[in-house]
Structure formats: C-alpha cells, structure tokens
Chains A and B, each alone.
Chain A
Amino acid sequence: MNNPYLPYPVKIDSVVTETEDRNLKTFKLVFLNPDDEAGFNYTPGQFAELSIAGLGEIPIGIATSPTEKGYIMFTVNKVGKVTNHLHNMQAGEIMGVRGPLGNWYPWDVLEGKNVVIIGGGFAFTTLRSSIVYMLDSANRSRFGDITVVYGARSPGLLLYKEELAAWEQRDDINMHITVDGTDDPNWKYNIGFVPAITKEKAPSSENAYAIVCGPPIMIKFTLPVLTDLGFPAERIITSLEMRMKCGIGICGRCNIGTEYVCKDGPVFTLEQLSRLPNEY
C-alpha cells in the first residue's frame, strides 16, 4: 500500500546563501530515484515536507517551477531545530522530500488574466515559482500583463537577486522592486514599504488577479490598497502558513474551521478566508 508519509530520498545538489543576514539559504535537491522525480508532479503554489532523519520534517513552499527540470529548490529560513540543522548540511548529503502537498495558485482561472504578484521578505518562494512558470516561453502567451511588487527590509535581504535583475531587463513583466530603506547610493530601484509602492504603481484591477504573500503586517496594509484599486475579495489570493506535521490533512494540526491548511490550502482567496474563523 502506498505510504503518503514516506519521504523520497534526495541528494543536496547545491546550497546558496541568499541573504546578507545568512538566515536564508536555497537548497537545490536532486531525486535519488528517477521514478520518484517522475511521480513528483507539482504546480506553482504547492509545498513539500523536507525530511531529515533524526530531526523531523518542515513544510516549505516549492521555489522551482515545474518548467525547470531535473531538480527542485527550496529557500529555507533558519528558525528551529530542523532548519538549523539543514543550514549546516552540505552538497552531497542525503535527506528526504515528501510531496507535492497542498493546493496551488488557480492557474486555470488565471489564464487570460493580468496577474499582479505582491511579495514581501522571504515569502517570495512560491511567487518565484509562479513568475518562472508564467515567463516560460510555453506559458507566457496564456497570461496577460504580469506585474510584480517585491520588497524586503534592505537590498541584502532580497531573494534571487540575479533573477530579479534579469526580470527587470525583460519587457514582458513589470518589476517593482523595493526596500524599506538603504544607504546604498547605487540602489536603483524603489524605496518604500510594499503597500505604499503598490499604491504608487497602482496596477489596474481590470481583468486582473492579485497574489499576495508576505509577513502579516505587509498583508494587513496591502489589502486595503488592493481594495481601493478595485480588486474584489474573490480576486485576491494568498497563501497561509500554519504549523504542520502530516501535510496530507490527517493529523489535525493545521485545522481552521472546515479546512486543513495543508490539504485544502495553503492557497485561499480573501473571500474564502472571510468565511473562516480568523485564527491563523
């Protein structure tokens, strides 16, 4: 009988330190068995449980896009027992991955629409996956305008800096990178909080959906801006975080109302959340 709790063995292919505070590292993982890779069919917005034998598992958003073949990638913030250990692991070491888990951004609904992506801090991982997915030459024509507002506290805390710079050069995506503040005289992008920059750039809500991921304080102040821009709650999409264990809607931990965040989520529209207890 197929055991959904059993992780696939993977090898760490590379480890990249993303931020100047060294709290975020990106792990590129390669499946040990080709069959496992073939079975790992994911969609941007989903997550996986990273497993380290002897320490446990952590639910982390998948940062790669399914259009990137041969590996999967996770950007992990160092906060607890498993993540601290993971940050000390090296390329070549063996660990486990269980997934893909959860639902995803509603790509069938987003088809033919303008997509506004708003991200803050290290919540940019599944948003990176989404951007890479939409910009893929096979997919780009399926979507309208793509607008990205992405902010971090300082330039050194932005994720995926090289890719951000490359996307800036493209004319099929409107990038608005911002930082809360910087003393770097060569900083060439925006300065200001994500809600303020969103208001300033005022992406049109016409035929558009917004995907918002970031710290609670950013989300709290961005939502009214989006409402003012004319985005109804059904067209504002976000992804929730909860403490999780099983990741498959069984262990009960991430329950909010009728939903299990790990299985029925993590992606919800604001309209769906308005019908659930505000307990996340």
Chain B
Amino acid sequence: MSETYVSKEKLPGIVEQLMGTHRVFGPILKGQYHQFALLEESADLDLAFRNTRLSPKALFHPHSERMFEFTLEKGNPDAGILKEVPKDYRSRIVLGIRPCDAYAFKLDDRNFITDQFKDPWWVQRRESTTLVGLACNDPCSTCFCTSAGSGPFDTSSLDVLLVDLGEGYLLQAVTHKGEQLMGDLAGGESVPEHCTEQAAALKQSAEAQLGIQFNLDPVKQKSMVELFDAPFWEDVQFSCINCGTCTFLCPTCWCFDIQDEVYQSRGERIRIWDSCMFPLFTLHGAGHNPRDQKLKRVRQRFMHKLKYYPDKYADGIACVGCGRCVQHCPVNIDIRQVARLMAESCVCPV
C-alpha cells in the first residue's frame, strides 16, 4: 500500500481540499475536552489531543436518532402510520480517530450487521465513511489497547493511518478506499528518507510502553455460570454508584432504548443510548426485574464485555482498551482489575 508525507504547515490545505469533496469530522476542542464534530473550517481541527472524552461512536450510532415520524391528525389517512425520515448519507471522512476507537466499530459491526437483520442507519453510515486514523505515539497511563486486541498503530479498522513524525505526518493507505482518497490528494510529498523507519520505531516504543496488562485466556476455559456465580462480584460492585458514565463513554456500549415523542399532532420514534447500569433497563411491564440489584447490573456489564461477547463470537472482547471508563469512573473502578479477577481468581470454594 502506498505512503505519502504531509508537512504540518500543508495540512490545513489538505483538510480544506477534503472538505470540498466530503463532510469532514475531526477532534475539536470544545471547552475543556476534545470531541468529534463536523469541521466548519480547517483551523478547527486539533490533532494535538490525547483522545476525546466521549468516544466517536455517536458518528455512527447517535446519542438520539430519529427513526420514524408520524402524524396523529384526526382524519388524516396516514394517521398512526410510521414513515421513514430522510438521512444524510453523503460521503464523509473521520479524521484523527484513534486506532482503538476505529477497532470498536468493527466489534460493534457484529452486533449491528447480522445475517438476519441489518441496522440500516449503522450500515449506511459505515458505508459512507472513510476512517483516517491517527496513531498513538504516547499512550495514556489508562490505555490498554494492546491487551484488548488492538494497538496504538492498529490499522485493522482504518482506511488510512496518520503517524505524527514531529514536522509532518506519514500517511499510509490501508484499504482500497484509503488508497483512493490518498490518490485524489494534491499536496502530498514523496516520503522523506527514514520516515518509514521512524514510524516503525514509534510504534515499537508505544507498544512497549503499553505492555500486556492482563491475559483473558483463562476466562475462555471457565463456564459462563461459573464466572457468573463467582464471589468477587461482591467486591467489584461495592463502590459502584450505577451512574452509567462508563457505558456512556464506552465505544463498544451500543445498547439503546426506543421511545416515542409527541408534540401536538406530530410525533417521532427515536432511539437513544441506554445503559445496563440502570434498573429500568430490564424492568418488566408486570413488575418483575431480573437485574434488580446493583451487583447484577455491574456483573452484567463486565460479563458482557469480557465473557459473553467473546463466547458469542468466538473472537475478541467487547472492549478496545481506550481507558475512558477507567479515567472517568467517579469511584475508580478499573476494568483491567476486573479482567484480572475474572482470569486469575480461584472461584472454587477454598
């Protein structure tokens, strides 16, 4: 696959070029935190960021999505019949996404795209998007992508990888889509000597910095029921306040609710992010609640990520190691510790 080089002073020009043909989304500093948003001008793009506070999942699975609209007008022959709403699927580029966050979309694809049912909004946004990732030269202390099946230079879910080499960026095409995008770019330079080697060295040093922080192989050997009944959940859940921050920030937490909203005689069916941390998530109409206690909800989240998902798809875990939940948990629950407990703790009665 081809490579090209863009010096930092030429980047705004390249971004503007892309903005002429695509809708370009990138990290923008909003208040204290970075966030992925549509670029109004190239100067908004800020690639000098660690990562965004919210994961970029909203680009494909918005926090609230209008699914259908309807009228309730008396006498209208269409009253009560749901209609699809127009969506903007013009081609777009997500610029500067971290490799772990892009990998999350691949894990989520397995949920949104199955042989039997395809989520139309997810599929069409995925198809119309080119992912241009930014390699992590300097991971955070809360990062653990290398333990979660991804890595700081992971190209498995990207179309193009950008590597920050100080004075400029090395662009490596990964897919045919990425190759095409780079082919259309004017302003790229031939790759200066030693740049490829420099990028390889950065990759090696970032990976070494991350190390392997847990090994979930033993979890595969244990049965769901055995882990479910393990005593350590009591300790894990002790400090949790079920605030749902972890699920909100997580790039692989895709659960959603569907609600109808009505204003006068018009209404919409919308879907909104939901969280397994909330008791209402599983409350039956008749009053029964299978996950009526905090322990059960905390256990559900970790078990889904680290045991149910891997067992269901026989590959991967539903976590990419971005570390957002570790950074922002108000009571310092660390999924790495939970993973180690699940892998190492002896659940047999001593």
On A, residues with C-beta under 8 Å from B are 1-7, 9, 51-58, 77, 79-80, 83, 93-96, 216, 241-243, 245-246, 248-253, 255, 257-258, 263, 275-280
- Of residues 255 through 295 on chain B, the ones whose CB sits less than 8 Å from some CB of chain A are 255-260, 262, 267, 269, 271, 274, 276, 281-288, 290-291
Given contact pairs A245-B256, A251-B255, a sample of 18 additional A-B residue pairs in the complex whose CB atoms are under 8 Å apart: A2-B118, A3-B84, A3-B120, A5-B269, A53-B72, A53-B269, A55-B260, A79-B285, A242-B284, A243-B283, A243-B284, A243-B285, A245-B257, A251-B258, A252-B254, A253-B274, A277-B228, A279-B290
* CB < 8 Å neighbour of A276 from B120, B225, B281: B225
Which listed residue (B82, B111, B300) contacts A6, Cβ 8 A? Answer: B82
B68 adjacent to A275 (CB under 8 Å): no
User: Cβ of A263: which chain B residues have Cβ within 8 Å of it?
Assistant: 116-117
Known: A77-B286, A94-B80, A276-B225. A243 touches B281 (CB 8 A): yes
Residues of B within 8 A of A1 (CB): 118, 120, 123-124
Q: Is B311 an interface residue (CB 8 A)?
A: yes
CB-nearest residue of chain A to B267:
A54
Mask: chain B, 67-106; 1 = CB below 8 Å from A; 0 = not: 1101010000001111010000000000000000000000
> Complex: how many Å from CA A55 to CA B260?
6
Residues on A with beta carbons closer than 8 Å to the beta carbon of B260: 53-56
A258 & B79 in contact (Cβ 8 Å cutoff): no
> Is B70 a contact of A54 with CB atoms below 8 Å?
yes
In angstroms, Cα B285 to Cα A194, docked, is: 24
Contacts of B111 in A (CB 8 A): 249-250, 252
Chain B residues in 8 Å Cβ range of A94: 79-81
- From B68, B258, B259, A246 is in contact (CB under 8 Å) with B258
Q: Which residues of B contact A252 (CB under 8 A)?
A: 111, 254-256, 274, 276, 304
Tell me, yes or no, whether B30 is within 8 Å of chain A by CB.
no
The SS class assigned to the B binding surface is: mixed
Write the nearest CB–CB distance from B38 to chain A, whole angstroms: 24
Pick 25 A–B contacts, CB within 8 A, sort by A: A4-B117, A4-B118, A5-B67, A5-B269, A9-B80, A9-B81, A53-B81, A53-B82, A53-B267, A55-B260, A79-B287, A93-B80, A94-B80, A96-B82, A241-B284, A242-B284, A243-B282, A243-B283, A243-B285, A250-B112, A251-B271, A257-B303, A258-B312, A275-B224, A279-B300
Query: A56 contacts B118, CB within 8 Å?
Result: no
What's the nearest-Cβ distance from chain A to residue B331, in Å?
Answer: 24
7 A-B pairs with least C-beta separation: A252-B255, A80-B285, A79-B285, A258-B312, A248-B117, A277-B228, A53-B70
Let me know if B114 is at the binding interface, CB within 8 A.
yes
Q: How far is the CA of A1 from the CA of B281 in the complex (A)?
A: 29
Which residues of chain B (306-324) have a CB below 8 Å from chain A? Answer: 308, 311-312
